[in-house]
Amino acid sequence: MEDTEDLIELCLLMGKIMQQNGAETYRVEDTMTRIAQSFGRDESQSYVTPTGIMFTISPGAHAKLVRVSARETNLEKVNLANNVSRKIASGELSTQAAYKELRTIETSPTDYSMRMQIIAATLASGFFTIMFQGSWYDFLPACLAGGLGFIALINFIRLFEIKFVAEFVASLLIGFTAFSLFSFGIGKEVDKIVIGSIMPLVPGLLITNAVRDLMAGHLISGLAKGAEAFLTAFAIGAGIAVMFALF
């Protein structure tokens, strides 16, 4: 009996880690079912949404629920969780050992330092400006605006705990930097600078995942992700819009 409880906890933790870090909904469900299968439980059922996961090991047994409150994209954690599920499938790990390993993955710090992520966002902004047919004159202003916006985003998320406010403030800052640099004569096309520098904030993954989930039949997940993407896009757009009105 205790074993069963351990197995349920293991499946839920696996699902939670995957869902929190940006795995697709169908993959989360698939992985949970497969873990149960590799311990000889063929009739498990899972129901995964972006905000919570329900799981029951066999029909008629009690169901357990885990809440997913914050979502981000951390592909390394998805990869590590996937490795654990591979090892379980090949019979290398017991429930307890797998659970312990997942716990370490869940609490492990991120692989890249904050500074490195900021540098990446800075460069990404500049190169996106080039990709959207901006000129190299716009490269540096876009880097500056995008980098500042990203710094604002990660700091304000900690401060407000409401993602959309942080995104709004970050895009305000991006708009302000881009437009004021432009009014000092730095940069050629202010549109391209703004487009490039908001790219690190744009919910591209969410929009695509939302449509994909809808197509795969995960209607609730798709609509929920779509709503989240819409709110983020709206926050960014509103921030830029305020700056448009001011300048």
Binding-site ranges for other proteins (CB under 8 A): 22-24, 27, 73-79, 82-83, 86, 110-112, 116-117, 120-121, 123-124, 127-128, 130-132, 191, 194-195, 198-200, 202, 204-205, 207-208, 211-212, 215-216, 233, 236-237, 240-241, 244-245
The DSSP string of 60-122 is: TS-EEEEE-------HHHHHHHHHHHHHHHTT---HHHHHHHHHHHHHPPPSS-HHHHHHHHH
Q: Determine contact, residues 201/171, Cβ cutoff 8 Å.
A: yes
Euclidean distance between CA atoms 134 and 110, whole angstroms: 33
CB burial readout 209-244, b (16+ within 10 A) else e: bbebbbeeebeebbebbbebbeebbebbeebbeebe
Whichever of 39 and 139 has its CB closer to other proteins, that residue is: 139
Q: How far is the CB of 195 from other proteins (least distance, A)?
A: 4
Q: How far is the CB of 143 from other proteins (least distance, A)?
A: 11
Whichever of 57 and 126 has its CB closer to other proteins, that residue is: 126
Euclidean distance between CA atoms 86 and 141, whole angstroms: 45
Q: How far is the CB of 9 from other proteins (least distance, A)?
A: 23
Euclidean distance between CA atoms 211 and 232, whole angstroms: 16
Q: Determine contact, residues 21/74, Cβ cutoff 8 Å.
A: yes
Whichever of 57 and 236 has its CB closer to other proteins, that residue is: 236
Closest C-alpha to 70, from 161, 147, 143, 146: 161
Q: How far is the CB of 100 from other proteins (least distance, A)?
A: 21
- Write phi, then psi, for 70 (nearest 5 degrees): -125, 135
Whichever of 6 and 30 has its CB closer to other proteins, that residue is: 30
Q: How far is the CB of 11 from other proteins (least distance, A)?
A: 17
Q: How far is the CB of 162 from other proteins (least distance, A)?
A: 21
Closest C-alpha to 68, from 18, 8, 20, 9: 20
Q: How far is the CB of 3 from other proteins (least distance, A)?
A: 28
Whichever of 56 and 228 has its CB closer to other proteins, that residue is: 228
Whichever of 65 and 219 has its CB closer to other proteins, that residue is: 219
Whichever of 26 and 47 has its CB closer to other proteins, that residue is: 26
Residue type, 180: S
